[in-house]
Chains A and B, each alone.
Chain A
Amino acid sequence: MLRTEEMLLNVGPQHPSTHGVFRLVVKIDGEIIKEAKPVIGYLHRGTEKIAEDLQYTQIIPYTDRMDYLSAMTNNYVICHAVETMMDLEIPERAEYLRVLSMELGRVASHLVWFGTYLLDIGAVSPFLYAFREREAIINLLTELSGARLTFNYMRIGGVKWDAPEGWLDRVREFVPYMREQLQGYHDFVTGNEIFHQRVKGVGTYTRDDAINYSLSGANLRCTGVEWDLRKHESYSIYDRFQFDVITRQEGDALSRYHCRMGEIEESLKIIEQAVEQCPEEGKILAKVPKVVKPPKGEAYVRIESPRGEIGCYIASQGKKEPYRLKFRRPSFYNLQILPKLLEGENMANLITILGGVDIVLGEVDG
């Protein structure tokens, strides 16, 4: 028997597989992790404090920078919170454009996850393919909003731009293309034996754990909880679309993979229906006062982002700046379970588990 002794190892803060600036202090004994302590805050920019001095419209570009992989959902959550408080009526076309852009963003975000996750566990080429498809989405969103990642596209009461000419057709064409590629990914990765050995049965947790740790998104659905805010607490116009909530029972890294890949498919379904239903023309901005002042009071709304439940709490004093703004950032909550998952695991599984949680550090740190 080999004698081993405990050792402290720092993973990160600058390490590509931590997907940002995230440090993990692990105590290892040989190959086995005894204890893991996440250290976060390297990317804390104080968004919530800054927002207290800003008008609501000015906060929207800041939300782009929280979850920079799916900025559209972040844009939406604050608009949705303010609109809920003010009881605003959003024009039809704006709603469709919002849904389209959010779902495209969701596909893009899951593609990044797919690529980087496989890169983490040692498969290089899926990353290149995933980014090829993501580039197509980014191009679509650039045409729509004028920026590649920090869209700043939504406004209180609607969206900034109408869709450019032919944009909806290009989105329509994108769906079958993406379906074909998705099938390619399944051929390419899903059946791969090496991949299965790396992820199957790794990082397993139960349904009760997932709920107890306030996990959301695919991290929750992989344990069999059928819970998707788009379906079960429908906001915007999601109740008009037919789509399924993908769940799995196993709760391991492989099931999370399946959930996310399934969600790409479901998002494509939504996009397809939204393009068909979208009114040809119409207003894209509701009648809102120039200075947005939600009534005195507070509100908390939550929506489904690619990473889980993103929420926004606003305490307003009836002024043009929020008194307190709070984002419920899904990655921040999802990451909490990490120490529990890592305990007793093999060092080589660390990256598999961390990657499987799908964190964006801009969001963890706020």
Chain B
Amino acid sequence: MTDNHNNDKSLPEQEGLDPTINQEEAPSENQPHSQAKSPDSNQKSDQNKEMDQTFDQETNNDLKEGNETQQQAPSPENPPNNSELPTQNQPTESDKEKAKKKAAAAAKAKAAAKAKAAEKATSAKAEKTEEEEELPSYNQPLLNKYVEVIKEHLGEDVIEEAYINRLSKHVPTIVTTPEAYYSVAQFLKYNEQLGFDFLSDYHGTDFETHYELYAHLYSLLNHQSIALKVKLDHEHPSIESLAQLWEGANWPECEAYDLLGIEFRNHPSLHRIFLGEEWKGYPLRKDYQPYDEEV
């Protein structure tokens, strides 16, 4: 209703929500927190660099790269009340609160870019020296715990890889060997410490060198997520079905079979769920040739 109300409501929460702003406003105070979040892997800072570069070049190859015009384009189409115009970000009202709020809002986007640039500059040295050991994610302890429990019960070599996927809200990700896939999944579901009882998503991907199955599991008990992955041979992708563990895996497996040609052993009724049994080829494979190129 009123701006005061807005401020009260949103500002404190913003701080919690949004580490970048914190970093810019109070980098020293917030050191441990921002550090935990900031380096976000080298990959990400590269990305930022790339973003910035794109920005610079953009004006030049605007026309060449016939692509989407976001707001930077000189297009009169954007409605005037679209307050990206710098003039509107100036504090025109005498009301201090309001001006403050606006400034905060305007600074926000800038802050994101700036904070990252600054952060990159300051942390560049640090990153260089500790390139190998990037700062652990807040989910790292969880991942360590999962890996430890799994290794303890199922043996050392069932896990091919375990890492935090920072791009995906820091979800702990475990890659198992195809042989141990079923037992790991079973373990994740029934172990009372882990209790991943809800299968949120299950699908396959063709990565050309191999197929990959991705299962996003969730524990309604502990409110934790885990991504379970397995890499399959590209010649004859075949794996134990999870449908005995989660009934909900039944159709997704049919879908992966239908569109990717991954075979699931011991599946109750594996069939081509969308395209029908007569369909030739597996459309989501990268080497799929549509029967009729033109239509």
Contact = CB atoms under 8 A, between A and B. Distances in A.
**Are chains A and B touching directly in their complex (CB below 8 angstroms)?**
yes
B176 interface: no
A314 to B, nearest CB: 9
A49 B283 contact: yes
A282 interface: yes
Interface in B95-111: 101-102, 105-106, 108-109, 111
Interface string B267-295: 00000011110000001100010000000
Contacts of A326: 201, 203, 205
B193 interface: no
Contacts of A209: 247
7 contacts: A92-B10, A211-B197, A211-B220, A283-B84, A300-B227, A302-B201, A336-B247
A365 interface: yes
A290 B56 CA distance: 11
A291 B167 contact: no
B67 to A, nearest CB: 5
A214 B198 contact: yes
B258 to A, nearest CB: 8
- Which of B47, B50, B214, B246 has the largest count of A CB atoms less than 10 A from its CB? B47
- Which of A86, A286, A287 has the largest count of B CB atoms less than 10 A from its CB? A287
A101 B255 CA distance: 31
A363 to B, nearest CB: 13
B128 interface: no
A40 interface: yes
Given A40-B273, A89-B109, A277-B5, A55 B246 contact: no
Contacts of B250: 336
B251 A297 contact: no
Contacts of A157: 70
Contacts of A283: 82-84, 105-106, 109
Contact of B79 (A162, A309, A320): A162
B1 A289 contact: no
Interface stretch (B38-46, B139-147, B151-159): B38-46
Contacts of A286: 109, 112
Interface string A68-107: 0000000000000000111111011100000000000000
A17 B83 CA distance: 47
A287 B112 contact: yes
A255 B250 CA distance: 26
Contacts of A284: 82, 84
B235 interface: no
A177 interface: no
Interface in A317-338: 320, 323-324, 326, 328, 332-333, 335-337
B65 A290 contact: yes
Contacts of A365: 274
A313 B108 contact: no
Contact of B200 (A57, A311, A336): A311
A59 B94 CA distance: 44
A84 B50 CA distance: 17
Which 6 residue pairs spanning A and B have beta carbons closest together? A214-B248, A41-B274, A299-B168, A295-B47, A289-B54, A44-B274
